[in-house]
Amino acid sequence: MNLPNNAPLEEIYLQNDFKSGVRLFLKREDKIHPIISGNKWRKLYYNIKFAKKNKINSIVTMGGAFSNHIAATAYAGRIFGFDTIGYIRGDELKKLNSTLSFAKLNGMKFKFVSRSLYKTGFFLEKYKNKKKYKDYMIIPEGGSNQMGIDGCKEIYNDIKIDFDYICCSVGTGGTLSGIASKLKKNQYAFGFSSLKGANYLNDVVRGYTKNNNWKLIMNYHFGGYAKINDELIDFINFFKEKYNIQLDPIYTGKLIFGIFDLIKKNFFKKKSTIIAVHSGGIQGINGINDKLKNNKIII
Ligand SMILES: *Cc1c(COP(=O)(O)O)cnc(C)c1O
């Protein structure tokens, strides 16, 4: 098992009239693997190594209906030889959407839990019985444990150019935590939250790094997790047409929309270099398109 090493930096050539001399590069973590894409492979990597070394048979994890982590874990379980059990947020999902169908096809067993029970995490208690569940390993939501965050540090290590800013999407905060903990003093990280009102994320990231040259940006969530509107869909489709790069509607579409908007508003200093992390998530598009009732879909 090798560390992912095929996530190149690609420059996004901006229109002169709005770029104030800034240069934007996309770190193509989405190219790492078609299924275990982007930060989910980074986060699973050390977890899977640990599981192999410790003769773990079953991985227990959890996530929502469109979770890239659920899809990635199911797939990784199949190819690396682990049973996978996924606790899914929301009873109503027993009618599987495309993400969950994919995970099932890859052998994941589901347990559906109500949103309120999911929040408490009580369903994990039984796995603490180490006698009965000694071959089990729990990986938290989004893969964001210390090993997952260590994997995300590699995103930073893999960037071979000087830069001023690095921007990434935020769900659980694991990716931002890994990146922020590697920053040099003259660099700054911005995490664009895909969740509404998720101020607790500040504490999450502070728990993993003493650096304070990072900030959460809270106004490009488009209403909250997995919420979208026509403006966002138009932007994702525009970006694909212009740059031939697919963004996803839950994370990276919101991130790049936000970066473009902030560049237009001269938020970044003149002539600075910005890295945006394309963290993957393309598998989620089908599920979102199925949900869209109007004619506008992600192409
Ligand atoms: C999970 C995910 C994120 C969020 O990463 P966190 O480490 O949970 O903050 C961002 N982008 C994509 C594509 C993801 O799948």
**Per-position pLDDT tens, the chain of length 299:** 776 778 999 999 998 767 689 999 999 999 998 888 889 999 999 999 999 999 999 999 999 988 999 999 999 999 999 999 999 998 776 788 999 999 999 999 999 999 999 999 999 999 999 899 999 999 999 999 999 999 999 999 999 999 999 999 999 999 999 999 999 999 999 999 999 999 999 999 999 999 999 999 999 999 999 999 999 999 999 999 999 999 999 999 999 999 999 999 999 999 999 999 999 999 889 888 888 876 678 88
Q: Check if CATH label 3.40.50.1100 holds for domain 39-143.
A: yes
Q: Give pLDDT, residue 299.
A: 84
- How many Å lie between the centroid of ligand 1 and the Cα of residue 43? 10
**Phi/psi of residue 12, nearest 5 degrees:** -100, 110
Ligand 1 nearest-atom number relative to CA 169: 10
Taking the CA atoms of residue 117, residue 120, residue 124 and residue 128 in that order, the dihedral angle to the nearest 10 degrees is -140
Mutate-to-test residue for ligand 1 from 169, 172, 298, highest number of ligand atoms within 8 A of CB: 169
Ligand 1 nearest-atom number relative to CA 281: 13
Count CA atoms closer than 13 A to 181's CA, side-chain side: 20
Q: Give pLDDT, residue 3.
A: 67
Angle of the 39-53 helix axis to the 146-157 helix axis, nearest 10:
130
- How many Å lie between the centroid of ligand 1 and the Cα of residue 279? 6
How far apart, in whole angstroms, are the C-alpha atoms of residue 83 and residue 139?
Answer: 13
Q: Check if CATH label 3.40.50.1100 holds for domain 9-34+152-292.
A: yes
User: Which residue is listed with tokens 């027993």?
Assistant: 94
- How many Å lie between the centroid of ligand 1 and the Cα of residue 16? 31
List the chain domain ranges.
Answer: 9-34+152-292, 39-143
- How many Å lie between the centroid of ligand 1 and the Cα of residue 168? 8
Q: The tokens of 268 are what? A: 């970044």
- How many Å lie between the centroid of ligand 1 and the Cα of residue 174? 8
Task: Give ligand 1 pocket residues (Cβ under 6 A).
Answer: 38-40, 68-69, 142, 144, 169-176, 248, 251-252, 279-281
Ligand 1 nearest-atom number relative to CA 178: 7
How far apart, in whole angstroms, are the C-alpha atoms of residue 296 and residue 233?
Answer: 7
39-143 shares the fold of 9-34+152-292 = yes
Whether the full predicted model's pTM is greater than 0.75, yes or no, is yes
Mutate-to-test residue for ligand 1 from 39, 67, 205, 298, highest number of ligand atoms within 8 A of CB: 39
Residue partners of 205: CB distance under 8 A and separation at least 6: 173, 176, 177, 180, 191, 214, 216
- How many Å lie between the centroid of ligand 1 and the Cα of residue 171? 5
Mutate-to-test residue for ligand 1 from 220, 251, 252, highest number of ligand atoms within 8 A of CB: 251
Q: Give pLDDT, residue 295.
A: 67
Mean pLDDT of the residues in the chain = 94
Q: The tokens of 243 are what? A: 């740059």
- How many Å lie between the centroid of ligand 1 and the Cα of residue 191? 10
